Amino acid sequence: MYGFGWTMGKFWMCVIAGICSAGMAQAEFSLSFEWGDIPLCKTGRPNTVGAPAFVLKDLPVGTARVDFRLKDRNVPSYNHGGGKVKISTGGQLPFGTFKYKSPCPPSGSHTYEWTATARSASGKALGKARARRPYPE
């Protein structure tokens, strides 16, 4: 009987510890965006435009800046650029925070992906978040 009680007690301690630690886990860093009022471009020759409005949630602890990069998933070799923004808490970044080369597929619609990399003051990557949208929508 003593052995069974000790085993059950140990079991419940592990269950309670697991529940407590799960509640303290940090939520996942996430990113969303809207293209905004950029000029329609379907020529394959992008315009230099202001960044979309971004919403960042649950930035990793210690974040000092976030680096943004845009990739055309249909033509990943093309460099659309991006920008770096000093930010330490999540929230909304307004349109035009930095400049980049707009989405501009030569025909049809392409899928574009923004990657946001949270970095510490020393530049260490702390986390990444990605968001995709078609253009034009």
Instruction: Look at residue 3 and tell me whether its pLDDT is greater than 60.
Output: no
Instruction: Look at residue 11 and tell me whether its pLDDT is greater than 70.
Output: no
Specify the 3-state DSSP secondary structure of 63: coil
**Listed residue (110, 117, 98) closest to 49, CA to CA:** 98
Share of the chain above pLDDT 70, in %: 80
- Dihedral angle, C-alpha 21, 58, 34, 84, nearest 10 °: -140
Domain 27-135: state its class.
alpha beta
pLDDT band at 8; cut points 50, 70, 90? very low
Q: Domains of the chain: which residue ranges?
A: 27-135
Predicted pLDDT of residue 21: 39
**pLDDT by residue (tens digit) across 77-120?**
999 999 999 988 888 999 999 999 999 999 899 999 999 999 99
Query: In this structure, what token pair is assigned to residue 45?
Result: 């020759």
